[in-house]
Amino acid sequence: MRKFLLSTLISLPLFSLSPIEKIPHDAKAYFSAENGKMLASCFTIGAVIANSPMDQYLYDFYQNNIRNDHTDFLVDHWRTMGQNGAIAAYSAIALFSLGARGTKAGDFAYELLFKSGRAFAIGTIPLHTMKQLTGGSRPIYTKRSSYWKPFTLRHGVSGDTYTGAILFITLAKMVESHYLKALFYGISTLNGIGRINDGYHYPSQVFLGWMMAYAACDAVDHTDSKFNLSIGADRVAFGFEF
């Protein structure tokens, strides 16, 4: 994740400073009372699941009743989207947006890249903070290990789920079609499902990783509802609506 975040943020100045100027406003939206209430509710739910037999039950149910050769096949071809494979995906988006600047597709890719990068910029430190504060373990280590033990292990929130979800949550928020929104939201959960499938995370940890990704993307979307960004072949116009 560190390599991916670094490469994403380093690429921002290659395009324009305008999206970077939005990051303080993104952070304000992320740490707003409204977003805080949503995350507090999610972590309350996560705490109840993680610190009870429910997490182990849900994990065992998946392993015994849902996991099969098809889910293993899907995970084998998708798991890198939560790891180094994400670097390739964002690099491809960056190259395409550079080569297709001034076209609708190029401008869409440009916006997708920066929205995702801004989400990582405001959401990654809180993610790692909560990983430390929850301190959960992995299913493959010990039984009943989802119980929170602050500042011991750091698996109580799934980082791979978070990394793999941001691109597709951002896409879901950018498209207008309800069918495409449903599709992209569905795809955004695949990394989390894969982490449960492989035995690396409990359901509560995947749920919290996805919700932290959603909170970051939602903050960026909230900022852009107040900002106007006009992109053209020879200009970038930037304004703010009060």
User: Using one digit for the tens of pLDDT, what is the confidence trace for 178-188?
Assistant: 999 999 999 99
H runs (alpha helix) in 100-202: 104-134, 159-174, 178-188, 190-197
Residue 18, pLDDT score: 58
pLDDT at 228: 45
DSSP annotation of 219 reads H
Residue 157 has pLDDT above 60, yes or no: yes
- For residues 215 and 142, give the distance between their C-alpha atoms in angstroms, rounded to a whole number: 30
pTM (2 d.p.): 0.86
> How high is the mean pLDDT of the chain?
85
DSSP H helices, the chain, are 2-11, 18-21, 23-30, 33-50, 54-61, 69-76, 85-99, 104-134, 159-174, 178-188, 190-197, 203-224
Q: Percentage of the chain surpassing pLDDT 70?
A: 84
pLDDT band with cut points at 50, 70 and 90 for residue 5: low
Please state which of the ranges 18-27, 41-50, 126-135 shows the lowest mean pLDDT. Answer: 18-27
**126, pLDDT greater than 60:** yes
Q: What is the pLDDT of residue 76?
A: 84
According to DSSP, the β-strands at 227-232 and 235-240 are antiparallel
- 166 has a pLDDT exceeding 80: yes
| Category of 32 on φ-ψ map: left (φ > 0), alpha (ψ -120 to 50) or beta | beta
Position 242 confidence tier, pLDDT thresholds 50, 70, 90: very low
Q: Is the pLDDT of residue 143 over 70?
A: no
Q: Quick one: pLDDT at residue 101?
A: 84
- Which of 76-90, 133-147, 200-214, 215-229 tops mean pLDDT? 200-214
Interatomic CA distance for residues 145 and 135, integer angstroms: 10
- Whether pLDDT at 231 is above 50: no
**For residue 144, what pLDDT is reported?**
57
Give per-residue pLDDT as tens, 91-100. 888 889 888 8
* pLDDT tens sequence across 203-215: 999 999 999 999 9
Q: How confident is the model at residue 202 (pLDDT cuts 50, 70, 90)?
A: very high
Q: How much is the pLDDT for 90?
A: 85
